[in-house]
Amino acid sequence: MTTGHPELVAAIASEIGRHGPITFARFMELALYHPQFGYYMRPSDPGTERIGWDGDFYTSSDVHPILGQAMAKQAAQVDALLGYPDPFTIVEMGPGKGLLAKHLLSHCQLMSKSLAQRLRYVLIECSPAMRALQQEQLRPWLRHSGPVSWLEDISSLAPGSITGLMFSNELTDAFPVHRVEKVGHGLKEIFVEVRDGRFVERLQEVSTPEIKDYFRGLHIDLPEGYRTEINLRALVWMRQVAASMNRGVVITIDYGHSAEDLYGPQRSKGTLLCYRSQMASEDPFVRVGLQDMTAHVDFTTLATAGAEAGLSVTGFTNQMSFLMGLGVDEMIAQLTPETPEFRAALHLLTPEGMGRTFKILVQHKGLEAPTLDGLIFKPFFGSALSRHAAA
């Protein structure tokens, strides 16, 4: 039975009624980002939150400030490599509750007066409700004509306008994805229709040739019955990031894999998951608009799209190696062992926590291939992101 936010369910059903079956990507877009009723777009119900220990899911920034502290150290190194520009701009895309921004800005202030003075911090957030939460977190920086500002969409950044660091944590996995299934020798796309008052799947011809091109570019021929997701929106976004960068570094943190791993035999049902009250479910047609939906990121295709748009790959690593390279072991050594804070910090680092699932793609533009502390440790072979590794 379809359950969910009543007005949202009605709005999606009405669109299907008017236009016929919609792609799963369109369904996910409406469920998460319908301007009035979408999961991320509505203010949270009183006494509840989306992101956090008491929310539907938590992110690294809820666990401990060390990711923000490490990002500040990495930003300071990029600042030095760029020759201390004024302004040095940090663009955070998809900032969630604004905790990572708070941790990063606080640490920049502690670390370097010069950087704090030259810093301009732009948050790109599509949801008015999330922007309000971010403003709450960042109140100390909003008092005077402070360094912090907001944009609703990355397309508002002028081409070549950013000298500095552009980064995101768990943004790309929240973009709407197309879903496909291999039927016989052909690839079909999952559409959504209404039957007996319920949202149900319907397999149709793919809605865009980009889907078949995607796998052709990867030299991947999925086996019969294989189901998976394709994040075309992430590629558009990556090109927008590349276009707005003048000189600097791009850091994309998310759970994901190389294409070879993501589209390998062990993930034959795809990676789409929905989260409500910290519980994962595979059913996107319940709690519509009341649960988060995510799919793992294909870092190979993301890196290729970036390279085609002018962003060179600096490196690819996991969160554990990134944090270790930025001296997180020293930060943790200052904590009292076995306290909740100590255990939280370790959770970000350890393979069984968030250390290995989360991957980090680093790219640069307008710089000689930079040596960055976050990339000192190398958990993968150099060819991990090669499109031909998947052949």
Interface residues toward ligand SAM, by CB under 6 A:
40, 51, 59, 61, 93-97, 99-100, 124-127, 130, 153, 169-171, 174
Residue 127 CB, shortest distance to ligand SAM, in Å, is: 4
CA 179 – CA 192 distance, rounded (Å): 11
Which of residues 50 and 182 has its CB atom nearest to ligand SAM in the complex?
50
Burial level of 205, CB count in 10 A (0-12/13-18/19+)? exposed
Closest by Cα among 342, 339, 353, 351 to 379: 351
CA 226 – CA 311 distance, rounded (Å): 32
Cβ neighbours of 198 (radius 10 Å): 13
Which of residues 129 and 286 has its CB atom nearest to ligand SAM in the complex?
129
Cβ neighbours of 374 (radius 10 Å): 25
Q: Per residue in 46-74, is it b (16+ CB within 10 Å) or e — as a string? A: eeeebbbeebbbebbbbbbbbbbbbbbbb
190, 181 Cβ separation under 8 angstroms: yes
Residue 101 CB, shortest distance to ligand SAM, in Å, is: 9
Residue 49 CB, shortest distance to ligand SAM, in Å, is: 12
97, 52 Cβ separation under 8 angstroms: yes
Residue 339 CB, shortest distance to ligand SAM, in Å, is: 23
Which of residues 218 and 320 has its CB atom nearest to ligand SAM in the complex?
320
Residue 233 CB, shortest distance to ligand SAM, in Å, is: 8
Closest by Cα among 219, 187, 231, 229 to 206: 187
CA 165 – CA 311 distance, rounded (Å): 13
Which of residues 115 and 293 has its CB atom nearest to ligand SAM in the complex?
293
211, 121 Cβ separation under 8 angstroms: no
Which of residues 93 and 385 has its CB atom nearest to ligand SAM in the complex?
93
Which of residues 250 and 384 has its CB atom nearest to ligand SAM in the complex?
250
Residue 187 CB, shortest distance to ligand SAM, in Å, is: 26
Dihedral-angle region of residue 73 (phi above 0 means left; psi in -120 to 50 means alpha; beta otherwise):
alpha
Which of residues 125 and 229 has its CB atom nearest to ligand SAM in the complex?
125
Which of residues 61 and 215 has its CB atom nearest to ligand SAM in the complex?
61
Can you say whether the dihedral through the CA atoms of 261, 288, 127, 12 is positive or negative?
positive
198 in helix, strand or coil? Answer: strand
Residue 243 CB, shortest distance to ligand SAM, in Å, is: 15
Residue 131 CB, shortest distance to ligand SAM, in Å, is: 9
